[in-house]
Chain A
């Protein structure tokens, strides 16, 4: 083990670690521009210089490239070090006055005073981009070209590169944001939209899906990952201290035998672009409520800053439109989406937090604030003049003079109103998650004409389905808000527990039974059973040899519909309580 001292702190280092690595483990900050964990160091920028005071030849060395040695004594912030960094930064500042990171660092080291003519470069010639392209990604599309003052980062012969794969790693690692990949190649740099932020910003191919993800661990998006596309890169594997990246992992099909299933597939918002009059998708300042939610969220793409997507200005006037697709029998969904009234009221409050002197308008059909304390909340918004509520529909949103004109009816005030808005927020209808039909068919549970999953009884069995053991929770059942979803989920969980914690399953006795004396094992019944309750039972003779395979009804699965009995040609299947004989007797009795 190597022992060394940094700023008087004793430290241990492993073979191959640099001074920078050891200092970072001790939480000692050493500034650097050209260092990246995944890329082998070259010590180009000279910002990370530290002073060796004992243990080797005293002097200034770059911490990013100098290996840790036994007995070294290092000062990372001595006068000599600061003086060296100051001089380097003075020169960099004179070269790159536009680079923000250089300006900040130079200000910190008092290096803004060099009486030199400023150049207008952004690049500090650290070569990080060249190294990442060659050593990490692979194609080596960029290189240094020219000498002396002519030196620059370019492609060979300054032609658009043919080997560039458009990954954008060069721009990503550049400390001064000096790289525009479009100068190097004709491949448009693909931005991967961040799904959680409604595509308002982009994400990297290896990412944590959203802040509260369970498990809160990164995933690799195979389609966009450079390693999976070209076999190169592997930067995430290099930097991962836990060595957790495994590119050979495959998707697995996991089979589990369970006693109960809770369906909680949730909802999504209808695409409001189908209503052209609101201009969603056409005007960038028309956004959905979900996009607005992300914009004002502190963990969102703007860090909570609310800006007009078109020009980044503060929206001084904002209009919220309710019932976009909800309660529209002719060209939308006939039902009420239930959550929009409340979240719009919340959004108006959030908007006022962001824009104190802003004006918010809400166009609504009816305010449906059914729920504990909900009405108080909406009343507060209206009474405290957080937003102006206008009862009526909007007929058109159109641009005029950099604003969005919202033309609608104010049915209570009377007449037509036109509002010049900076932003328009739509509240689209709540619809079930896509693919829920497929899932319902797989689980053999019902769904209605809007694809919301069907409960067994609207009043008495609201979280159960008609298939035993399958329960519903949340918005897959119908539009509902958080308290309702939690209540339903709790109910579904206790129903499921009630089912699986008993030693014996209690079922209706009116289920099908097989007469094994007449069953001939044709298994026509298997085809009509909606519950897969027909099993194959092997009949053994006294020597244990299989003599016949007959139908057998799984008592847990059978719901007693009787379809099997009608199909059975040998009349070997009958539903208890509804046997043929019983029904024939009923016919005779009723005919007297």
Chain B
């Protein structure tokens, strides 16, 4: 599935850590299709499956940054194509508003991405990951986010 072997931190080359939340019906299936179609894409992406992009709580994004993510990506069905009729519309409204608040929270908004990938778009998924990874590499390791803010909150939420 990958062109490059994942590299551990501290080894010869730094690689970003990208966490992606994919909806079960479109983007996850699209990523699956990319694999089945032998489209390669960079390894640093780490996927978490959710039923719908509407299930993505802004807290998940914050927790990801807190846990050391350099980039967070949320991807769902194209507007109008939601398996649950309207979940991606909820996601779009909520996450776009949330992105506006990122600066206020002290998070670089360039590190939060939203996209729409359908189950048939394996190629798009592959190129999206390449693009996002390239951006994350260019931005470098994300150290500015004050870990101290999130300290004291346990893993168990």
| A contact set with B: CB distance below 8 Å | 444, 446, 466-467, 510, 528, 530-531, 559-563, 565-567, 575, 578, 580-581, 583-588, 590-591
Contact = CB atoms under 8 A, between A and B. Distances in A.
B127 interface: no
Interface in B46-81: 46, 48, 50-52, 54-57, 59-60, 63-64, 67-69, 81
13 contacts: A466-B85, A531-B84, A559-B84, A561-B51, A561-B55, A562-B50, A562-B51, A583-B60, A584-B155, A585-B156, A588-B67, A588-B155, A590-B48
Given A444-B85, A588-B67, A566 B55 contact: yes
Contact of A566 (B48, B54, B67, B82): B54
Contacts of A567: 90
Given A530-B86, A561-B84, A591-B64, A583 B52 contact: no
A566 B89 CA distance: 13
Main secondary structure of the interface of B (DSSP, over half): loop
Contact of A563 (B63, B68, B69, B84): B84
A528 B94 CA distance: 12
A590 B22 CA distance: 14
Q: Closest 10 interchain pairs by CB?
A: A562-B55, A591-B67, A561-B84, A563-B54, A530-B85, A561-B52, A590-B46, A584-B157, A588-B155, A561-B87
A584 B63 contact: yes
Contact of B55 (A444, A446, A578): A578
Interface in B24-64: 46, 48, 50-52, 54-57, 59-60, 63-64
A530 B60 CA distance: 23
A446 B84 CA distance: 9
Nearest to B54: A563
Nearest to A559: B84
B99 interface: no
Nearest to B55: A562
A321 to B, nearest CB: 33
A528 B48 contact: no
A563 B52 contact: yes
Interface residues of B, number: 30
Contacts of B117: none
B129 interface: no
A578 to B, nearest CB: 6
A587 B54 contact: no
A567 B89 CA distance: 13
Nearest to A579: B157
Contacts of B156: 581, 584-585
Given A467-B85, A584-B63, A591-B68, 10 more contacts: A446-B82, A530-B86, A561-B83, A566-B56, A567-B90, A578-B51, A584-B157, A585-B156, A587-B19, A587-B67
B155 A585 contact: yes
A333 to B, nearest CB: 18
Nearest to A449: B80
Interface in B82-131: 82-87, 90, 94
Contacts of A444: 85
